[in-house]
Amino acid sequence: MRFEGRVALITGGTAGIGEATVRRIASLGARTAFVGRDENDGRHIEGELLHRGVEAAFIKADLSKPDEVRKAVAEAASVFGRLDYVFNNAGISGVTGCIANQTETNFDEVFSINVKGLFVAMQAEIQQMLRQGWGGSIVNMASVGGQVATPGASVYVASKHAVIGLTKTAAVEYGPHGIRVNAVSPGAIRTEMLQQVFGGDAALDEMAAIHPIRRIGTPGDVADAVIWLFSDQSSYYTGQSLVLDGGLTAQRPVVRTAVASAQKMRRKGKERAA
């Protein structure tokens, strides 16, 4: 697959899954705009890509601020003249804890980025694609948490259920205009965010045993899926959530065991931090 002449926009593009996707789509020839809050990391990645002869642009923006979201989408389209592919990846995990102990502050912070930020971004992206008149492909970051319960992560889980709902509705509304909208729903992926939640690499290594393929995912695994969803090879695929979890949720009798194991590792992580 090659993407010369096409333009991709990735939010949350300075680390983890977002960074992996930025590097992958850029290596395949797309002119690539990516958004993040960390200007140092963003400029470093931008510089590396430009040095390799790749057309890339870092855009600093906070996805919890609607005006900055809209400006970021407009800037990406302005810099490269069009917008063909989008990966709305930016998100946060928030604070863990049972529902009765959750705070409105945590709820508002998680939803401001995971749901409202994505919603505002999609509005601007779809409007740009409609003006262009030739369609496009939008991929939203969901999670297996958007399909199954995860005790202790109620706010995050609710936000990802909302992402899948927005994805399906947008796909139905804009399919007639040639705009495909899908989600990726990763399980355990070895990222800094997951390390912070569970307490480091050792805890993540323990999680491999509960996955049928005996490993957890990498950012590159998700990036590959996003690239496929961008491509014409997935032209009949829309309104779906592509699950990437190493077979974890296929084991329905052991989902409770997996959740219990995750909670145990989370507690171990907190003990190590203390």
Q: Which two tokens stand for residue 155?
A: 């706010």
Q: Which residues contact 105 (CB under 8 A, 6 or more apart)?
A: none
Catalytic residue among 85, 156, 174, 236: 156
CB 259: neighbour CB atoms within 10 A?
17
HEC letters along 70-87 = HHHHHHHHHHHCCCCEEE
CB 175: neighbour CB atoms within 10 A?
14
Whole-angstrom Cα distance, residue 9 to residue 124? 12
Is 85 among the residues known to form the active site?
A: no
SS3 94: coil
Do 21 and 222 meet the contact criterion of CB atoms below 8 Å apart?
yes
Q: Which two tokens stand for residue 182?
A: 């899908």
- DSSP for 22-43 reads HHHHHHTT-EEEEEES-HHHHH
Q: Which two tokens stand for residue 52?
A: 């390799």
Whole-angstrom Cα distance, residue 88 to residue 142? 9
Q: Which two tokens stand for residue 78?
A: 């302005």
To the nearest 10°, report the CA torsion of 45, 216, 171, 64: -50
Query: Roughly what angle, to the nearest 10 degrees, separates helices 154-174 and 104-111?
Result: 30
CB 118: neighbour CB atoms within 10 A?
26
Q: Which residues are catalytic?
A: 156
